[in-house]
Structure 1
Amino acid sequence: MARRYLHEIDLMRAFVILGVLSVHTTSFFNVLNNNMTPGFLTLGALITSMHYTRETFMFVTGLVLFITYYRNPFHPLVFWRKRFLLITIPYIIWTLAYIAFVGWLTPGFNWSWSILWPAIVHNVLTGNMYFLYFLVVSMQLYIVFPLLLFMLRTWEKYHIHILVASFVLQICLMWINKYALGTVNVAHLPKVLYDLYEYRDRNIVMYQFWFVAGGILACHYDRVAAFVCQHRRALFISLGVGVCLVWSYYFLERLVVGESEGSAELVLQPIMVPYSLLVTMVYWYAGLSWAKRMDRPGWRPFSKFIQVAGNTSFGIYLAQPFPLYLMELTVNHIDGVGIPTWLHYALLPVSILFVYFSSMLISYILGKIPLLTYTVGRRTQWRRHKQQAVQRAA
């Protein structure tokens, strides 16, 4: 069966990565506010409502894998060789780059090998540098994907049951994460249990629903697409209600229950499961709608942007710490001079766009340089580059 390219996924990637950078940039701006002030709580509520991005990326990953392999021949060894080549290389390279970057920023950093080597080993094993947890979870998915593929192929007539059971399990896991594990005293835990506790946010079990949901959507893609398009109005109304509920929940947690900011904004908590699913479905519907119009003359500039942003999204994710650092330096300097409050908040969208397009530029350039393409998860197409060189010479 011919493999299907989903143009709508490009739009999802382009705007979900914008959401990721919006969260990280807005979080920095909120650090500059005093706790419990109106500005702090407003940005806190906004950040909470943008905490769907992690789940949406997991969903897209599962969807793309299953749409590629569900109805096509699958060879685990070929799959692992292909996927791990494109993820372990950038994972290791960016881990080393981040360690060097942190060392450069840290006065008096000890560059001796006896200090660097344990740091490298620890961060490679845990994905502890910046936002590399996503790659750690992705590698775990690649390991178990043959089993997931076998299960969904074998139990195709039970897909609804599997989806519901996975959803309920996800709610239970999020409840345990927030209300049970959040109060554990880790001081006397053995190291193995401590590591499982400390790094549970990069354990594939914590995201199992998103991979399963993406996989089941891939199996019944056209039927679900027709259903969503038919009920698009209900989808948008549900999203509006969902945003209001998430904001209300955040203010309830902060102002009534007295929870900390970290607990109220927590990504891995029960309310974020149905909310993130709603947002993901809206993104998907938007992608479907654009895919029908992408070749129309009036849409071509936007479509070109989506193509570039979608193709560079993985590299944007990896390159973002450097533009984020430049943005933080600049905003701190401007605030230090003394500016009106309205101007401070006006810098927020400008800062988001700066980080987004700067990261995109880095990713785009790396994706055009032979060998360095592997740092952003892309193979070097030697034959194509050779043909292009010949054409230029001619």
Structure 2
Amino acid sequence: MSAPTTALAPTGAREVPSRPRSGHLHQIDMVRVLAFSFVILAHVVNGVNDMADPDVAAVSMSMHFTRSAFFFLTALVLVYGYRDRPSGVFSFWRKRIGVVAVPYIVWSAIYTAINAPDATLGDFARALLQNLITGGAMYQLYFLVVTIQFYLVFPLFLAVLRAMRRWPVLTLSLAIAFQFAYDSFFSIQPAPVDGFLGEHWQVITSVLPSYLIYFVIGGVVAMHLEVVTEWMRKHFWAMLGFAGAGLIAVQINYYANIGEGMHPFTASNPLQPSLMIWCVPAVLAVYAIGVRWADRRQPGSVADKVLQGGTLRAFGIFLAHPLVLSLIYDNLLGQLIGSFGFMGATVIVYLLGVAGSVLLVELLRRTPFSTKLIGRPSAPLLSAKAKSTLRSLGGLKPTA
């Protein structure tokens, strides 16, 4: 592929590399790896520590931006890929849904079996069906349920964004108003227990409307990607400051709610409307970090290779890391807390969880079931370089 050309810019303005439509958005790699790294940390914080502790819940709440980043990223990538070309509804569904649905079904079955090892076949089938509908087999799988819902409505979503392309501020304002009203209604305690609202409440974290604002932000950014990206370049530090101010504001609101007697679990709920004050700027700040990385990356450098490797394995790590963490909790957590305290145990479990998840994904990639397990084609057991090294060590001439 030919090298990207450089767009002409006015004298003194930053020259922005243009790229073919088939090119790769390197800032997305950074956003994806940061989001997946922090979601594992969030799960470790929740798994190691006492969530009834207000300070622990405050830390956990601050990492809710990871789910926002996931949905922002999902919409950005899809809308950017389809914004200027026609997309047949059925061809889109056929291409996209299976990539997510098959690993979702497989891992739901795995986690359902692990959680109920003594269940009869009938009980297992009923539990699996329920889990497939709600994403309840394991705590991270709601993301895939929401993603599949988004894929189902994506043709309509894209049509609306195209129609509203000239009015991005109005589009975002309407989405923010909807999200605030929706979150405010379902944050009211006590929760509804009867009828449609009661049923909706039971699966509130697994339905598309709970995260609509982040899909819309991702879609609007994609529709105006070149302008937004250049704006992020010029206002990088302002974006970080905006996110920092949002974090301070949401923490002040959280501790005010605690002071009024609200339980930490309720005060840190991901559907608290006040969380938008933090999650919206946090997601945009992460994207700004990705833009800065893309502008400064050195192709082929160690950092670039690590990030590309993380991107390649991120989906598999997301699916598999609860399995690794559960093994650590069952076999090591008590000793780690006793020896290093909760903070030390959190750090150690996180490092072990990441390393173990990467290792597990590497093993799964080298099985015939890689596509069904982690959504990636199978990799050879040994790389070409490793095979060449082994042949050399064995005195054999490498084959072409």
Report the Cα offset of residue 329 of structure 1.
2.4
Q: What is the CA RMSD across the aligned residues, in angstroms?
A: 2.6
| One-letter code aligned to 2:144 | L
Aligned counterparts of 2:175 and 2:209: Cα–Cα separation in 1: 11
Matching residue within 356, 359, 383 for 1:358: 356
Structure 1 position 274 matched with structure 2 position 277: yes
Question: In structure 2, what residue type is equivalent to 1:121?
Answer: L
Alignment counterpart, residue 6 of structure 1, candidates 25, 45, 51: 25
Q: Is the 8 A contact 2:232 2:291 kept in 1?
A: no
Distance verdict in 2 for CA 1:366–1:392, change over 3 Å: farther
Instruction: String of CA shifts for 1:204-239, please: whole Å, max 9, x gaps.
Output: 111111111101101111111111221222222222
Question: Is contact 2:65-2:279 (8 Å) kept?
Answer: yes
Counterpart residue number, 1:84 = 97
**Do the aligned residues in 2 keep the contact of 1:178 with 1:268 (CA within 8 Å)?**
yes
Corresponding residue to 1:170 among 176, 179, 183? 179
Give the 5 Å matches for 1:170-189.
170-179=179-188, 182-186=189-193, 189=194
Matches within 5 A, 1:170-249: 170-179=179-188, 182-186=189-193, 189-190=194-195, 193-249=197-253
Equivalences for residues 29-68 of structure 1 within 5 A: 29-31=48-50, 35=52, 40-68=53-81
Contact 1:48 1:265 in 2 (8 A): yes
Distance 1:147 1:268 in 2: 25
Label 1:393 to 1:116 Cα distance change in 2 as closer, same or farther (>3 A).
farther
> Quick check: 1:366–1:373 contact (8 Å CA) kept in 2?
no
Whole-Å separation in 2 of the counterparts to 1:123 and 1:50: 25
Partner of 2:127: 119
Instruction: Quickly say closer, same or farther: Cα 1:66–1:392, change in 2 above 3 A.
Output: farther
Q: How many residues align?
A: 369
Post-superposition shift, 1:91?
A: 0.9
Question: Is the 2:93–2:151 Cα contact (8 Å) retained in structure 1?
Answer: yes
**Relative to structure 2, which stretch is displaced further, 16-25 or 234-243?**
234-243
Asked if 2 retains the 8 angstrom alpha-carbon contact of 1:23 and 1:47, the reply is yes
C-alpha displacement of 1:154? 2.3
**8 A Cα contact 1:19 1:50, kept in partner:** yes
Cα offset, 1:21, TM superposition: 0.9
Distance 1:392 1:321, change over 3 A: farther
Report whether the alignment pairs 1:22 with 2:41. yes
Aligned with 2:288 (options 273, 285, 290): 285
Structure with more contact order per residue of length (Cα contacts < 8 Å, sep ≥ 6): 1
Q: Which has the higher helix share?
A: 1
Mapped partners of 1:205, 1:141: distance in 2:
10
Q: Give the AA of the match of 1:129.
A: A
Question: Is the CA contact (8 Å cut-off) linking 2:183 and 2:272 kept in structure 1?
Answer: yes
Q: What is the DSSP-based 3-state SS (H/G/I as helix, E as strand, rest coil) of the residue aligned with 1:3?
A: coil
Distance 1:155 1:235 in 2: 25
2:107 aligned to 94, 116, 121, which one?
94
How far apart, in 2, do the equivalents of 1:151 and 1:248 lie?
Answer: 37
Task: Give the superposition deviation at 1:150.
Answer: 1.2
Give me the identity figure in percent: 27
8 Å Cα contact 2:239-2:288 kept in structure 1: no
CA distance in 1 between counterparts of 2:336 and 2:32 reads: 33
Q: Could you list the runs of 4 or more consecutive aligned residues of structure 1 that deviate by over 6 angstroms after TM superposition?
A: none
CA deviations 1:162-211 (Å, max 9, x no partner) are 111111211111111212xx31341xx24x55432210211111111111
Secondary structure at the residue paired with 1:312?
Answer: helix
- Structure 2 counterpart of 1:151, one-letter code: V
For residues 353 and 381 of structure 1, what CA distance do their matches in structure 2 show?
25
With structure 1 as the length reference, what TM-score do the two structures score?
A: 0.87
Q: TM-score, normalised by structure 2?
A: 0.85
Query: For the residues of structure 2 that align with 1:213 and 1:82, how far apart are their CA atoms?
Result: 24
